[in-house]
Amino acid sequence: MPLSMAKAGDTVRVVRVRGGEELKRHLSNLGFVEGSEVHVVNQALGNIIVMVKGSRLGIDSKTAMRVMVA
Amino acid sequence: MGPVDIVILVAIAAALAAVVLRVRRKGVCADCSEAGTCAHKGSCMAHMDPLEIEKRLGKGL
Amino acid sequence: MATDIRVALAGNPNCGKTTLFNRITGQNGYVGNWPGVTVEKKEARLSSDKNVVVTDLPGIYSLSPYSPEEQVSRDYLMSGEPDVVVNVVDATNLERNLYLTLQVVETGLPVVIALNMADLVEKSGDKIDAGKLSQRLGAPVVMISALKGSGVDELLRTARQEAAKAGSVPAHRFDSAIEGVLDDIEKLVPAGVEEGKRRYYAVKLFERDELAAKAISLSPASAAKVEALVAQCEKDCDDDAESIITGERYALIAHIMDECVKKAPAKMSTSEKIDRIVTNRILGLPIFLAVMFGVYYLAISTFGTAGTDWVNDNLFGEGWELFGAAMPSVPDVVTGWLEAAGASAMVTSLVVDGVVAGVGAVLGFIPQMVVLFILLSFLEDCGYMARVAFVMDRVFRRFGLSGKSFIPMLVSTGCGVPGVLATKTIENEKDRRMTVMTTTFIPCGAKLPIIALLMGALVGTSDATWIAPLFYFLGVVAVIVSGIMLKKTKLFAGRPTPFVMELPSYHFPSIRSWALHVWERVSAYIKKAFTIIFASTVVVWFLSNFGTAGWEGGSGAFGFLPDMEGVPEEFTDYSVLAMLGGAIAWIFAPLGFDSWQATAMSVTGLVAKENVVATAASLLHIADAGETDPSLWAAFAGMFSTMGGIMAFGAFNLLCAPCFAAMGTIRAQMNSAKWTAIALGYECGFAWVVGLMINQFYLLAQGVVSVWTVVAVAFAALILFQVFRPMPKGAWDDEPAAAAATA
């Protein structure tokens, strides 16, 4: 499922990152790679705050939709 | 107009000239300059590259 | 042979690299640009050893060939210039930072890893085994705190030692299958490339890095062979080359972290708890509004007011008390000096009614400024403002903007110049232009005196304290409304950009940096008062004291008005300033403030917003010199005929084009005269319309109707229409539902 659907408090794992080259690269630089663990801090209608690779990131819903997690 | 007046007027004129010069040299913001003598270069956005600005703003904004 | 030792400083943005750089070089470096790009280059010599040159590379996350910052860094590292690389790693973000470290080590250069903020990690309960880490990475690891200065000497010593070495061999190895492919590729790297760098290029070639291939002049034949190897590997792994390497790196890092870092037991941190509330979908926005309301209320209406009132009415007004003894006010004291020295009435007026009154009024608002900036700096430094950008992103996104556009607005609450500059981070050109145009709607520090003055004038006492925050929100609303309206026009329509922003942990700002921020803003304000405001008040004095004797019975001659025969009380009405102001005052008639004074104030406000107040104070003093000065508020209110006029005046000045400094910055950011004109034109136009609506609706409430009422209603309708109409077709189409379904 897309990251934007994860609930606050969940800890999920990245399965795939969709999107254009630049976005994928940017995201992977920040730690959104297959297999990395993502902890959801809070969710607000798709805009989401997560902890990944030890840092806290705020992401908009469209971008979050591109990160597939399980 | 007595001598005291002249003195005061000259002083004011000099002060004005100083202000004009300072603005020329240091830029109107009084903090930011193109001449390279900035008081807090570390925190002024004019000298940061965009990635740095964003990270800076994102962390300890 | 004393050849320089060259050190390269590399690391993620925000890892403390620059703090370290400043500490070891003493901030005396050369700052310029790397040739051919707009990336800043910083270089300096160690303060402890002039033979060591340190180059601070831009903050980067990896050594890919995609951004100018990364390219510049790679090229420099591969150029043969640096003798050693000091990789500054943020220990509190180890996993992410190591991603770059692995690549830096791969370059084959001697590397020293500076584990920064190691003290913070200890505090959090995690334990890092530096020895094991060093083993795994193949480079010495030194724990430092760039902020506190600990470990820096050892770091420099180690760096010097490593610099003497010819090169290093990366200790880390990927999965054996990948290693096999890399070995094969390495054989294809041209013989001319030195031993230490071959592995680096092998990896880059695997990643299909074209810049690297060009750098080593890979022959087309070899390139084809490399491509074949890579393609085969991709098939075997069912993945693309870049992802393979990225995955390998992160897998390695995970192993390293496992071995070298013992994490403290996980519990929901305080930051997380706070975030749950502050970014809550329902509460987030109201919380922000309440916070800003509180900030402006506290600054302008409570502590601040007492201080400012005292300064304006006593120190610069009627006199004050010191331990029971009555002390004269500053204007009185200065007048005393001048008269005793034998200065003429004219010069005395210039000094007292012009300079002292104008500059004094501006300085008088310092108590409120201080409170405001103490509060704003706290919010910025503790990390809350980052959350606000995130919360506002949701609001902005509905109208096609991203939260990134909100950041410059947060900065603008201090000064519009860095606010406009902060728009650099918005990649989308249309969004950037729009943000530049609207960010100065937010009241900056210099507009604070206007707000305070208005509040006093509208209310008399400090009762309706909601007026101050109201003006702040006026700015925010102006931004949002403008954003909505403009986004629907062809000029600005487009998809909202993705928003990814790092949110720092909440932390109580260090008193030192907090105080420093406040001091920076306040001292800038004071400097401005004594330079630009000073110059403006002198000019205003001359323009308002000299004019033609055009009153009844007057000679019509040009000269110093107060000294002329038969000069009436309101001599300033015949001054040059009155003439100039009167020439364009008609523009403001429908807004309710068509006196030449109001026009003059607004125009001087273009030089610096504080001038609105300075000019007001100066004109008031000039006009009734000799009479007991009523409080600034009351006198100011007296310049207008209606409340509506006062409010419209305030709104106009807060929203119209900013000061020269900000305008110059807008021009620099827009990089086009046409767009600058559009920006300034829009700002002034919008300000005028808002002023019109305020005044006309006020009059309407009083039962006064005129043709302008109709015009105001028309504008209001136009705005409402543009705001609420649906987005024109094709402006930005959402992802087709089909794509979203293929999850």
Q: How confident is the model at residue B38 (pLDDT cuts 50, 70, 90)?
A: very low
In this prediction, residue B46 carries a pLDDT of 47
Dihedral (CA of C519, C524, C530, C533) sign: negative
- The answer to whether C13 touches C76, Cβ cutoff 8 Å, is no
Report all structural domains of chain A as residue ranges with CATH numbers, in order of start: 3-69 (2.30.30.90)
pLDDT of C690 reads 93
Task: Look at residue C144 and give its three-state secondary structure.
Answer: strand
pLDDT of residue C623: 64
Token readout for C711 is 């015009």
Please give the residue of chain A at the shortest CA–CA distance from C404: A60
Q: Identify the segments of chain C with pLDDT beneath 50.
A: 1, 462, 625-629, 731-743
CB B15 within 8 A of CB B5: no
Q: Beta C5-11 vs C52-56: how paired, if at all?
A: parallel
CA distance C575 to C622: 12
Which residue is closest to B16 within chain C, CA to CA?
C535
Residue A17 has pLDDT above 50, yes or no: yes
User: What confidence score (pLDDT) does residue C738 get?
Assistant: 33
Task: Tell me the residue type at C454.
Answer: L
In contact, C419 and C447? CB cutoff 8 Å: no
The C-alpha atoms of residue C298 and residue C364 are separated, in whole angstroms, by: 17
Q: Is pLDDT above 80 for B41?
A: no
**Tokens found for residue C206:** 């695997």
Q: Which of B5, B9, B59 sits opposite C502 (nearest CB)?
A: B59
Which residues have a Cβ under 8 Å from the Cβ of A58 and sit 6 or more positions away? A47, A48, A49, C279, C386, C387, C389, C390, C393, C403, C499, C500, C501, C502, C503
Sequence-ordered strand ranges (E) for C598-709: none
Task: Write down the pLDDT at residue B36.
Answer: 32
The confidence score (pLDDT) of residue C322 equals 65
Taking phi over 0 as left and psi of -120 to 50 as alpha, with beta for the rest, A49 belongs to beta
pLDDT at C685: 93
Residues of C in contact with A62 (CB under 8 A): 496, 498, 735
Topology annotation, domain C176-262: Helix Hairpins (1.10.287)
Count CB atoms within 10 A of the CB of residue C281: 14
Please indicate if any CB of chain A lies within 8 Å of the CB of C642. no
Q: Which residues of chain C lie closer than 8 angstroms to A7, CB-CB? A: none
pLDDT of amino acid C84: 93
Q: Does C743 touch chain A (CB under 8 A)?
A: yes
Q: Do B23 and C531 touch (CB under 8 A)?
A: yes
Q: E strands within C270-371?
A: 320-322, 325-327
Asked if pLDDT for residue B61 goes beyond 50, the answer is: no
Searching chain C, which residue's CA lies closest to the CA of residue A9? C268
The pair of three-digit structure tokens given for residue C683, joined into one six-digit string: 């700002």
- Where residue B45 falls among pLDDT bands split at 50, 70, 90? very low
Cross-chain CB nearest to C95 (options A1, A23, A31): A31
- The interface pTM score, or ipTM, of the predicted complex is 0.78
Locate the domains of chain C by residue range. 5-163, 176-262, 284-320+328-487
Top residue of C272, C274, C288, C735 to mutate, by most chain A CBs within 10 Å, is C272
* C residues 339-378 closer than 8 Å to B (CB): 341-344, 346-347, 350-351, 355
- Which residues of B, range 8-37, sit inside 8 Å of C by Cβ? 8-9, 12, 15-16, 19-20, 22-23, 27-32, 36
pLDDT attached to residue C677: 93
Q: Which of residues 463-522 of C touch A (CB under 8 A)?
A: 496, 498-505
Chain C residue whose CA is closest to B40? C520
* Residues of A in Cβ contact (< 8 Å) with C735: 62
Residue B60 clears pLDDT 70, i.e. is over it: no
Q: Give per-residue burial for A26-56: e unless 16+ CB within 10 Å, then b.
A: bbbbbbbbbebebbbbbbbebbbbbbbbbbb
pLDDT for res C739: 35
Beta-carbon separation of B8 and C347 below 8 A: yes
Architecture of domain C5-163: 3-Layer(aba) Sandwich (3.40)
Which chain C positions have a beta carbon within 8 Å of B44's beta carbon? 418
C19 vs chain B: nearest CA distance in angstroms? 9
pLDDT of B34 > 50? The answer is: no
| Partner residues linked to C575 by β-bridges | C547
Residue-wise burial string across C450-468, b where 16 or more C-beta atoms lie within 10 A, e elsewhere: bbbbbbbbebeebeebebb
* Chain B residues whose beta carbon lies within 8 Å of the beta carbon of residue C383: 59-61
SS3 string, C50-107, reads CCEEEEECCCCCCCCCCCHHHHHHHHHHHCCCCCEEEEEEEHHHHHHHHHHHHHHHHC
